[in-house]
Amino acid sequence: MTTQIHVHVFPTSEEVAAAAAERIATVVREKPTCVLGLATGSTPEATYGKMIELYHQGLDFSRVSTFNLDEYAGLQCDHPQSYRAFMEERLFRHLNLRPWNTHVLNGTTQFPALECAAYEQQIQARGGVDLWLLGIGQNGHIAFNEPGSPLDSRTRVVALTPSTIAANSDGRFFADPKDVPRSALTAGIGTIREARQLVLLATGQKKAEAVARALKGDFSVDCPASLLQDHRDCTFLLDEAAASLLKS
Ligand code: F6R
């Protein structure tokens, strides 16, 4: 498949973050009631910093809704490694978002299937996601959609792969692999693909292979990010290290 994905390469990761925040700001200015999809992990942290700067310069988030991609199963929302806590700390508490407009899947629900179905309904009830910010795993995963996740997958409970458990316990988030939950709730590939605009961020050499597979490899469940190739409005914002395998 010939990819329709737009690719922008920047000299530094800071410029990637500035470009991502500016894209988000454009959507917020054009549609003050917009719905943003958000990601956790190391990559979007700098973008969240830039969004906070834009808020201090007058960008208004008071009518914006947000939906996060995923949450670990079994972690209370106030557990420091929960994605709810990550978002509160890195972004939500710094903006004038209304708490009831921020959505993160509940990892401790007794009824995960209901939680996932309700999440899909909440996204629909708000009119769908206008822009979903994504990261990419070294194995090509998007959200916790690991290789093999179906194109039409919806929000659901998934098992984490050993490579994702290892990547998330390299000292950045969890200190020890045994502390990483073995499963998570995640928006599906089908859920993500329904967003009107997708912006995937990748920085650093560790992401170069996954980025090359996503953009130049087959449209295949073996590399979940490659399943964005036919999206009508998808942009990859990369630093030079993450883009380094695209030229060959
Ligand atoms: C987290 C998420 C994950 C990360 C990916 C990259 O919400 O969606 O798919 O985007 O694991 O993580 P970092 O940015 O930490 O390299």
Residue 235 φ/ψ, nearest 5 degrees: -125, 135
Per-residue confidence (pLDDT) for residue 248, from 0 to 100: 63
Which residue's C-alpha comes closest to atom 10 of ligand 1? 135
Per-residue confidence (pLDDT) for residue 167, from 0 to 100: 86
Per-residue confidence (pLDDT) for residue 247, from 0 to 100: 82
Local structure of 243: helix, strand or coil: coil
Per-residue confidence (pLDDT) for residue 128, from 0 to 100: 98
The answer on pLDDT for 144 being more than 80 is yes
Distance 222 CA to ligand 1 centre (A): 17
Report residue 174's pLDDT band, with 50, 70 and 90 as the boundaries: confident
pLDDT: which is higher, 163 or 55: 55
Per-residue confidence (pLDDT) for residue 118, from 0 to 100: 98
Distance 118 CA to ligand 1 centre (A): 23
Q: Can you tell me the mean pLDDT for 170-182? A: 88
Average pLDDT for the chain: 96
| Cα separation of the two ends of the chain | 18
Per-residue confidence (pLDDT) for residue 228, from 0 to 100: 98
Which residue's C-alpha comes closest to atom 1 of ligand 1? 40
Q: Which of 13, 36, 40 to mutate to test the pocket of ligand 1 (most atoms within 8 A of CB)?
A: 40
Strand partners for 239: 10
The answer on pLDDT for 13 being more than 70 is yes
Which residue's C-alpha comes closest to atom 8 of ligand 1? 143
Q: What is the pLDDT of residues 132-141, one digit of tens each?
A: 999 999 999 9
Ligand 1 atom nearest to CA at 143: 8
Report residue 168's pLDDT band, with 50, 70 and 90 as the boundaries: confident
Q: Can you tell me the mean pLDDT for 40-63? A: 98
Local structure of 146: helix, strand or coil: coil
The answer on pLDDT for 153 being more than 90 is yes
Q: What is the pLDDT of residues 88-110, one digit of tens each?
A: 999 999 999 999 999 999 999 99
Q: Can you tell me the mean pLDDT for 66-93? A: 96
The answer on pLDDT for 114 being more than 80 is yes
Q: Within 6 Å (CB) of ligand 1, which residues are found?
A: 39-43, 69-70, 135-137, 141-143
Local structure of 37: helix, strand or coil: strand
Strand partners for 234: 198
Residues labelled as active-site residues: 70, 139, 141, 146
User: Cα separation of 13 and 149, whole Å?
Assistant: 29
